[in-house]
Amino acid sequence: MASVKFTKDQTIYRTGERSSIINIIAEGSVQVKTPFITMTLQKNDILGMFDSQSIYYPFEYTVLEDVTIYQYPYTSISDLAALINNNPTAAGILTSHFAEECATLLDVYSSLYQDCATLYHEANDYYDKYQMFCESYEIEAATLPGIKQLSEYSQDTILEDWLSPYYTDLSDINSANWKTFYSSHPNACAGFIYTASADFMKVLPKCERLYQYIDMLCDLYISDFNLDLYSFYLKLYESLIPNSEWTDLSPIKSTMDTLVRKISKETYFDKTIVNERLKEYQALSSIDASADQSTHQSTSLALKTDIMSELENSIDTILIYAEFDDAASNKFRSLIKQYRELPDRASTDDTTKAIRKDLTNYFYDLYQKAFFKSLTDEAVPVILKMFFYFGYVDEKLIGINHAVELFTMTENIAPDEKHNVFLLYDWLMQIYQGKKEPCINELNVDYTTYLRNLRLSNKITPQQEESAQRNAKMRLQFEFDNMFKLTNKLTQGHISTFCPILSDHNLYKQLRDAYVTAENIHQALDTIRSIDYSAYYRETIFSAPEEGIIKELLQTEVLPDIILMPNIGTRSIMWQEITGKKRTSPARMMLSVLSLEDLYPSMVRLTGEFRWELCRRIQGVRWNDISERSLTSDYCEYIQTYKKNRDLSTDAKDKLKQNLIKARNHSKELFVRDYIDYVMFESNGSIRLNKLARNMLFQYCPFSKEIRLALEANPLYHDIIERYHNKNRANIRTYENMLVRLENNKIKIPEEIKLFRNYLNF
């Protein structure tokens, strides 16, 4: 072993170099920085990745503070095993380091992949809106080179789904536990390190390609050669200003504001170009002035001043209300201040990650304490409602104008009249009051099963199990620890940079445009049900022995429970298709209360996922058994046999192959993609699907009568609609025979059976 010292700012290795030396940091720190990842390596961390004969350095390694490095020779994997055998402590150090490195890179990969999809779809949306504005204002639209030729990012090879959770779990194991096993198994330890290095080098090129693709997408938004979405919108807006007295410019102004916010806050854009180019827009109109004007339209100046006064030091109001102890309160205030002053709150450097992690822990503790305090409060203060509903903590983090607007929005929030859309706070109240059962956890285990498992493992007694079933606080704790914490992170979308506290760096839309209301959700659901009328129906057995009805098979509509999570987010989640074991119980879906994605496509996707998962639930272990026909088994067979299917053209097979790659070879994901096209495009006569996919979707998700009539003349739909009508006529005859039988037996027709006729008439 040799000891070598390097001074601050000295470069130890450059990207792509190799060596025959194992470098372990003894003291000091080394920084690794690329456009998409920044890591700080400290004591006991290792430089580089292992391959069969050398150490490869995928990054440039620069000394952050004077560093001492222990060096060991390496020419083959046997040298690594020998090092571990001679120095058992190294087993824990090496394995812990590589598990954490892989977990960090996989987090980055996940964020890049999601951001890639978001930037691609939003670029197309902005371009479509630009063309729509030009048509509306009767101005010739410019053509943006490359946008229609640029397809959604797809990978040549698929990254296994298990890889990320595998390394995430391994990174939680401390080095002492690694050492316990691997110190006495040096060859196994060397094998793990070699495998982890290979996995790291498998993921890294994917991250680099994703970043390159994102860089291309960024040029479509704003660039230094003025041929981009920003330039197009700017020129259009500028040309319309002289006509502003008789032309409503608010739609394009609102879209322009949203685009500028995205460009300003998204870390992928070149800040030098952005700052210089945005001066052009600032000369035309100030974003802040626009926001002030928007707020002023709904709030008088005097009232706004009162609200601003009430919002001052919001964090203190929340901490005092929750009766947070002094030490924790001071620490939380300090963390909020540090977070607020960060130059980039979405950074992946160690300092920012540590601040976000601590804030997350304090936030959930504070939320729980405040919730229990509110149980005895008949009039919860508006600032606390902002905290409960939106994750609001600090008026400076979200911006005072946004805070004022949020205050007025919160004052006007009313419970959903249809009782199936809930803000998270209201949902937790339903759980506490016993009106709803807790959601399943990430292992698909519900509260009752969880308690039974504890009893079977002798961790609780039967009496404790029975007591826990009725214990409101324990039910709430299960929901809080399992559903709330996980889905809040998932719906926000940026898993590796997650922080539950409301901050303006995540807000790319006007608040009111992002705010998801119960009314918006019901409108989206009604639109979907007007197309796919049977989406939320499921077969049930109706029995009324007292009326003389033993068993009748009916279709019953059960709309999902939708929970709005307190964050600004980019993802919606279909969490569970039923509640407990009862198939007529509602599904549960989660959305961000401030959503950056369009609501209607999100609800269409959730409906597609629900259809798939409900079919899987009904079919059980035979969900993909082609001997028992169902939506899921037919789709699985379709994927497995498409290459030999003569009903598909060569072009259709090639397109399906590409769609499978985009769907990561998941049958469910492919179905959901097809379902979105089916509902949003095929229902309007815009053909997107191949013959087989169209036939399957129409068989299991038939269009409503109005759409069937409109499509009946289309030769692609004529035959399948005719088959549907024949089948439906048979169902109606069966129903009418049932009515005759009941009437002959002088049995009063129950309302449930009468409603079934409505279903048949769809």
> How many other C-beta atoms can be found within 10 angstroms of the C-beta atom of residue 376?
6
Grouping H, G, I as helix, E, B as strand and the rest as coil, residue 585 is coil
For range 97-108, the mean pLDDT: 90
Name the pTM for this structure: 0.74
Distance of CA 658 to the CA centre of its chain: 23
Q: How far is residue 113's CA from residue 494's CA, in Å, rounded to a whole number?
A: 11
CA nearest to 501, candidates 365, 670, 608, 607: 365
Confidence band for 285, pLDDT divided at 50, 70 and 90: low
pLDDT of amino acid 155: 67
End-to-end CA gap in the chain: 79
pLDDT of amino acid 289: 45
Is residue 609 over pLDDT 90? yes
Residue 28's H or E segment, with its range, is strand 21-33
For range 280-308, the mean pLDDT: 61
Q: How far is residue 67's CA from residue 8's CA, in Å, rounded to a whole number?
A: 8
Confidence band for 302, pLDDT divided at 50, 70 and 90: low
pLDDT of amino acid 229: 93
For range 528-536, the mean pLDDT: 95
Confidence band for 296, pLDDT divided at 50, 70 and 90: very low
Considering only residues 321 and 347, tell me which one the structure prediction assigns the higher pLDDT: 321
Mean pLDDT of the chain, nearest integer: 89
CA nearest to 219, candidates 208, 234, 207, 231: 231
Is residue 451 over pLDDT 90? yes
For range 579-602, the mean pLDDT: 92
Is residue 365 over pLDDT 50? yes
Asked whether 447 and 478 are in contact (CB, 8 A), the reply is: yes
Confidence band for 280, pLDDT divided at 50, 70 and 90: confident
How open is the CA angle 583-668-691, to the nearest 5 degrees?
110
Asked whether 677 and 701 are in contact (CB, 8 A), the reply is: no
Is residue 184 over pLDDT 70? yes
Asked whether 79 and 85 are in contact (CB, 8 A), the reply is: no
For range 537-547, the mean pLDDT: 82
Is residue 675 over pLDDT 90? yes
> Which amino acid is present at 638?
Y
Confidence band for 689, pLDDT divided at 50, 70 and 90: very high
Residue that has been written with the tokens 């009468």 in this structure? 754
Is residue 199 over pLDDT 90? yes
Question: How many distinct helices (H) and strands (E) make up the chain?
Answer: 31, 15
Inter-axis angle of helices 667-680 and 631-641, to 10 degrees?
Answer: 110
156-181 residue pLDDT tens: 666 787 888 888 888 888 777 888 88
pLDDT of amino acid 753: 82
pLDDT of amino acid 244: 67
